[in-house]
Amino acid sequence: MKYKFYTIYAYLLLTILLVPALLAYCMIRIFVKYPSQMKAVYAVNRIVISIWSRMVGIKFHVKHRERADRKENYIVVMNHVNLTDIFLVNSCLNIPGKPLIKKETLKIPILGWLFGMTAVTVDRGAKKSRNSAYFALKNALLKGDSLLIFPEGSRNNSNLPLNNFNLGAFRLSIESGIKILPVVAINSRSLGFGKSLIIKPRAAELHYLPPMDPNNFDGSAEKLKEHCFNCMKNEILAADDYFRTN
């Protein structure tokens, strides 16, 4: 396969860079107080991904970052195409959102340990786990944290710009009064597609859309979800090369 050896090189380099990063994560866990831990983790991740992307020839760009007020906390929602979205988030997102991740993600070597320190995990097949995760997310918002949620629930392996959204993030927004901040991964498919671990030396972008105030949706999580879905879908159709050329 054309990019097989490149992919091996890219993942090997990332593993090497994560070794000193692990020491930084341990120091953060021990010496940094909770409110600042997430910011510190994101700062370390940004440095690692910046070095890694330059050495493997992948470029990450961001547009309209000014739309997010760093003094506010948000429920950040993002589309999910493939594994490289993780790199895009850590390179371009300036809102340190606590992610909601699937329980299986904890099995990923090294990254699983990091996610366990910073994320809320959920077993989607267990109702008790879903309820527990929901209240953990709500509690994080009350503490002033931002959240990072992929409302599609899993990777979009289809040829559609988005899969249907789950209601959870938007229900949280309505109940807490915290704004939704949509961010859109653009051209992620050029780096890799679906469940494949193969990646390519391409460029991807993260587009910030205007924050959405839940008070403008008459207390309806469904209306907020539909509006967010349409805005993100339109951005993908207008900006993503995969849909502009097909």
Question: Residue 109: which pLDDT band, with cuts at 50, 70 and 90?
Answer: low
Question: Residue 209: which pLDDT band, with cuts at 50, 70 and 90?
Answer: very high
Task: For residue 222, give its domain range.
Answer: 59-244
Residue 76 lies in a domain: yes
pTM (2 d.p.):
0.90
Give me 244's structure tokens: 């502009």
What total number of domains does the chain contain? 1
Question: Is residue 130's pLDDT more than 80?
Answer: no
Question: Residue 127: which pLDDT band, with cuts at 50, 70 and 90?
Answer: low
Residue 234 lies in a domain: yes
pLDDT of residue 117: 66
Residue 26 lies in a domain: no
219: CATH: 3.40.1130.10
Residue 186 lies in a domain: yes
Residue 155 lies in a domain: yes
DSSP state of 212: B
Question: Is residue 123's pLDDT more than 70?
Answer: no
State the Cα angle at 65 between 163 and 92, rounded to 5°.
70
DSSP state of 240: -
Q: In sequence order, what DSSP letters do the residues of 125-193 get, joined into one string? A: T-HHHHHHHHHHHHHHHHTT-EEEE-TTSS---SSSS-PPPPSHHHHHHHHH-PPEEEEEEESGGGT--
Question: Residue 129: which pLDDT band, with cuts at 50, 70 and 90?
Answer: low
pLDDT of residue 194: 65
